[in-house]
Structure 1
Amino acid sequence: MRLYSVVIPVYNRPEEVRELLTSLLDQTFKNFEVLIIEDGSTNKCDQVVEEFNHQLNIRYYFKENSGQGFTRNYGFKKAKGDYLIVFDSDCLIPNHYFQTVDDFLEVNSIDAFGGPDSAHPSFNTLQKAISYSMTSPFTTGGIRGNKKHVGKFHPRSFNMGISRKVFEETGGYRLTRMGEDIEFSIRVINAGFKTGLIESAYVYHKRRTSISQFYKQLHFFGRARVNVNRFFPGEMKLIHLLPAVFTLGFIGWLSTYLWSDLLFKIGGLTISFFFLAILIHSSLKTKNIAVGFASICTAFVQLFAYGMGLITEKISPRGNQPFAQK
């Protein structure tokens, strides 16, 4: 029977860790260990972990702050499993997750995998809207958790598994933040390892719980995409540039108010149709019109923040110098 090692980097989020560990108690497949790696937190979760000592095969480590990428490497070195699985601390894990993964690996020989993220019924309206916008065809092209995405599947570190051989041959993460999971996935594929999406191995990803936090996160994601392209020129695809096109187009549309009433009205009508499509699609998908209206806001924030991050990083003084290389 395969042993899975769950590596969870944590920084000042004890209550999230409690929720995540609680969700792991109900797994139908039990042959896994959990490694909580505290990345120099001041608000530690060691006491939370102690509450689960007799219910889970769990270990706790504290280390100096070095960012999530190198913290995952730290956990990989301590892990005993055949497969190493990474979750973000703000995830909840459905009780079938490990059984689904194990069943898939019984009939499919892959070296690295990932699964989608979804919204838990307990999530509030904003969290559901954020979950929608992060997976919507109108904002991401449906490339997250979709077999029909562009190019080979690149697992993301909020829900990702690798074989021990992958870690031993690649050395794990070379970046600690700023696109570290994308850079790692590209190296895994370039090394000849086979990757795959396990559609049913989804997690409930709570993500940011305020618009300002969501903006900061997506702005950082935009910067990260540019950083990855510094390591691997050509990895910046057209679909990654669309948020920047949206951002520049939106700013350009606002400027037409000063010199062309006709263009301002045409642009306003185009934007209205776009967000009307999001309202309808989100409302139907979530079966909640309140989430549909909130999705207009989160979709705008996602596109604008990602676009601004991409633009500002592209013109930054760093030029072609990658950020946070080991």
Structure 2
Amino acid sequence: REDLKTNKINQGNHGFEFTIPTQYQDGKEHTIQLLDKNKNPITKTKYKQAQKIKGSIQSNIKGNLIKGWIAEIGNDKTIDAYLKIENQIYPLTANIFREDLKTNNINQGNHGFEFRIPNEFIDGNTHQIELLGPDHERIYEIDHIFNKFDYENNIERFFAYSMISPEIELPTTESRKKILAVMNNIAKYLLYQVNEMPLVSIIMPVYNRENYISNAINSVLNQSYKNFELILIDDSSTDNTVNIINKFKDDRIRLLKNKSNMGVSKSRNIGLKESKGKYIMYLDSDNDWEPDYLKATVGAFETIPDADALYSGQYVYEENKDNLKFIRYGTINKGLLKNRNYVDLNCFSHTRKIYEKEGGFDEKLSRFVDWDLILKYMTNGKMYSIPFVLSNYYFNIAENSISSNQDLIDQSTIVIEKQEDRLNSKVLNYDMKKNVSVIIPSYESLNDLKECLESLFSLKAPWLEIIVVDNNSSENVIKYLVELKNEGKIKLILNKENLGFTYAVTQGIEISEINNDIVLLNNDAVITKNAIQLLQKAAYELDNCGLTVPQQVLPANTKTINIHVPFALKNRDCDVNLSANHKNIINVPLFHNGEFTEVSFAPFFCVYIKRETYNKSIGLDAELGRHFRSDMIYCNYVRTVLNEKIYHVSDAIVYHKLQQSTSTLKEKSQEEHDLLYVQNRWSEEEQEKYGFKRAKWDL
């Protein structure tokens, strides 16, 4: 401490910090004494901390059930609490015991609550939910959309919805029961696809599981598929686990013993090295499988010859089989899977080939090792989602943990950074079939614009033409753009008024090289390596494709993330082009690898348009969609009139920053802002100038 050094207390290295235990944070006055090593008092002071009310609402809301906690620190009694939704206030009883609360010193942990949202709020709109204390003071708040989703007897709609919300709360509706019954039939179908009987290796690490291990082993021995080896790796258990294992007399069981406790990753890797099977599966010692799990999974591998890895659904129980909480299954969504793992290792399997090529678990990670392996195999191989549910998972504490354990945060960050490195290091062997003109409509946001253009310049691509159409930005933006034009880096159109998105991009297309394909790009978007090439490759290799769109990755904590992807963790970046809000995912195949997903619409923050498609169309509609709406009009025109398809390309990633242009225009002119961004119209003078008419229905 500098003040100690200044006051000549040696070199100042004698400060300390100490967190007062929660039992003394009770509003009462306490005497605090500083003692020397012999416990003689040196100094003392009085301490009194006001009682504190704390609480939170979980961000991962399943269906219409809200979970959370609220407590007065230092007081284990239940306090009066309320939920406020819009203007409605509902009383809460927060008296559910949660182990995670107790672990984190929230009294004795008896402060959890559950609350079912009234049907009036299950309407597909965003609602603000506030947790209030005894005096109606705000403790915590979130925004959430409660989607009333009816699959209408259509499993493709379920596949689509599961891509952005991969959990089914139980008990469930008749509509969802029909879908789950279809998934049971899919499992039965796969049983009949098993013609050969290749060896399956099952890896099961175990440590002090004497109460659970028999159940896990029996669930393997009771499988309808019999050609397997069960490799148990005992991680130096100190209880009766090994003796229980040795009671099983079956030649298919192999027990390996670690001389010391090495951890689950090292143990699994030991099992992988000893395994001999064509396919490799995992079962934890406290979970189990339904009898047909192995056979249905082998049937899926036999049905999909290019599959390197598969995953299926899972029944999730709280503590025991009498308390089934929900079903976890989501058709693969690579963007969401990078944001948050919804694939459990107990229903994940892979080939020996991908293991030998990519290696096993990262032993440097203490947490999220399964997520890391799944991302690795998904990125460097082909992974498919298989819609059946034959795995059982049991958890003992509530998922909405209040823990802010730094190790967990750091470990998840490491996994995400590793995934970024994998994506950046992927080599794309593709020769461009056509040159590309990137059209950027621009208004203000100089820093965003610079980052956008630099991401394009860094490609150093001879096939790339960059066109910026500026909508009357301020002098510093114009100066920057003119310098780039003079250097020959861009083509430039400078408008004397803000004409909006649609007119500007049309201007840009008109001066583009006539044979070039077209990319429309927001000035706050950042292109990643290979994104444009991947979009073009998909556009020309996919049947009857007219448009392709990338992942639209929003920055962490963007307000709209959960509007588009309800299951996503809001505090991490996430792709939102596959969207619950847009309801745009269509024609999802039975077994999906997530590489390309057909969509009905995607916002034109970034879109690849084949020149042939554009020439057959009538262009974007600037008359009826001055700033927005034109992307939706164009997507539907391409799909219905031209009968061409639109695909989301998961490996093409474009980051979409939080643009300042809208607020800048609002500061300059509220009237112009409302006309452009709210009403989406032309003024009467502008209609006459550009030959536009206002539609009769645009009241």
- Provide TM-score, normalisation by structure 2: 0.30
- Kindly provide the amino acid, as one letter, of the partner of residue 370 in structure 2: D
Shift of 1:230: 3.1
Aligned pair partner of 1:188 in 353, 374, 377: 377
With over 3 angstroms needed to count, the CA separation of the structure-2 counterparts of 1:216 and 1:88, relative to structure 1, is farther
- Kindly provide the amino acid, as one letter, of the partner of residue 19 in structure 1: N
The equivalent residue for 1:171 is 359
- Kindly provide the amino acid, as one letter, of the partner of residue 146 in structure 1: G
Conserved 8 A contact 2:316-2:395? no
Aligned pair partner of 2:255 in 54, 57, 60: 60
CA distance in 2, matches of 1:124, 1:105: 29
The equivalent residue for 1:231 is 418
The equivalent residue for 1:6 is 202
Aligned pair partner of 2:294 in 98, 104, 111: 98
Conserved 8 A contact 2:336-2:568? no
SS at match of 2:345: coil
The equivalent residue for 2:569 is 241
- Kindly provide the amino acid, as one letter, of the partner of residue 378 in structure 2: I
Which structure dedicates a bigger proportion of its chain to helix? Answer: 1
With over 3 angstroms needed to count, the CA separation of the structure-2 counterparts of 1:23 and 1:121, relative to structure 1, is farther
The equivalent residue for 1:158 is 346
The equivalent residue for 1:112 is 309
With over 3 angstroms needed to count, the CA separation of the structure-2 counterparts of 1:200 and 1:166, relative to structure 1, is same
- Kindly provide the amino acid, as one letter, of the partner of residue 203 in structure 2: V
- Provide TM-score, normalisation by structure 1: 0.60
- After superposition, the C-alpha distances for 1:82-138 in whole angstroms (9 at most, x for unaligned) are 11111121211100111111211121121111222204799356x533xx3xx5xxx
**Structure possessing the higher radius of gyration over alpha carbons:** 2
Conserved 8 A contact 1:94-1:202? yes
Conserved 8 A contact 2:318-2:394? no
With over 3 angstroms needed to count, the CA separation of the structure-2 counterparts of 1:70 and 1:25, relative to structure 1, is same
Shift of 1:231: 2.2
The equivalent residue for 2:234 is 38
The equivalent residue for 1:146 is 330
SS at match of 1:15: coil
The 5-angstrom pairing of residues 268-307 of structure 1 reads: none
CA distance in 2, matches of 1:218, 1:181: 21
With over 3 angstroms needed to count, the CA separation of the structure-2 counterparts of 1:231 and 1:71, relative to structure 1, is same
Shift of 1:11: 1.6
SS at match of 1:101: helix
Matched, 1:123 2:320: yes
SS at match of 2:238: coil
Shift of 1:242: 2.6
With over 3 angstroms needed to count, the CA separation of the structure-2 counterparts of 1:218 and 1:172, relative to structure 1, is farther
Conserved 8 A contact 1:27-1:96? yes
SS at match of 1:199: strand
CA distance in 1, matches of 2:408, 2:300: 30
RMSD (Å) for aligned C-alpha atoms = 3.3
- Kindly provide the amino acid, as one letter, of the partner of residue 311 in structure 2: G
Conserved 8 A contact 1:38-1:44? no
- Kindly provide the amino acid, as one letter, of the partner of residue 374 in structure 2: S
Which structure dedicates a bigger proportion of its chain to strand? Answer: 2
Matched, 1:74 2:261: no
Conserved 8 A contact 1:178-1:227? no
Shift of 1:74: 0.5
Matched, 1:205 2:393: yes
SS at match of 2:355: helix
Flag the structure with more relative contact order, 1 or 2, with Cα contacts below 8 A and sequence separation at least 6. Answer: 1
CA distance in 2, matches of 1:25, 1:116: 21
- Kindly provide the amino acid, as one letter, of the partner of residue 282 in structure 2: V
Conserved 8 A contact 1:114-1:197? yes
Aligned pair partner of 2:211 in 2, 15, 18: 15
Conserved 8 A contact 2:376-2:419? no
With over 3 angstroms needed to count, the CA separation of the structure-2 counterparts of 1:195 and 1:221, relative to structure 1, is farther
Conserved 8 A contact 1:100-1:201? no
Task: Tell me which moved more, 73-82 or 150-159.
Answer: 150-159
SS at match of 1:198: strand
CA distance in 1, matches of 2:311, 2:234: 23
Conserved 8 A contact 1:123-1:206? yes
Q: What number of residue pairs does the alignment pair up? A: 228
- After superposition, the C-alpha distances for 1:30-84 in whole angstroms (9 at most, x for unaligned) are 0111011112222252211122223x61011111222212211100011111111
- Kindly provide the amino acid, as one letter, of the partner of residue 178 in structure 1: R
With over 3 angstroms needed to count, the CA separation of the structure-2 counterparts of 1:148 and 1:32, relative to structure 1, is closer
With over 3 angstroms needed to count, the CA separation of the structure-2 counterparts of 1:215 and 1:19, relative to structure 1, is farther
Conserved 8 A contact 2:319-2:395? no
Gaps (5+ residues) in structure 1? 136-143, 245-326
Conserved 8 A contact 1:11-1:40? yes
SS at match of 2:233: strand
CA distance in 1, matches of 2:214, 2:409: 30
CA distance in 2, matches of 1:114, 1:26: 21
Matched, 1:87 2:276: no
- After superposition, the C-alpha distances for 1:145-185 in whole angstroms (9 at most, x for unaligned) are 21164538675323221111111111211144321112122
Residue identity over aligned pairs, in percent, reads 22
CA distance in 2, matches of 1:6, 1:227: 28
Conserved 8 A contact 1:178-1:223? no
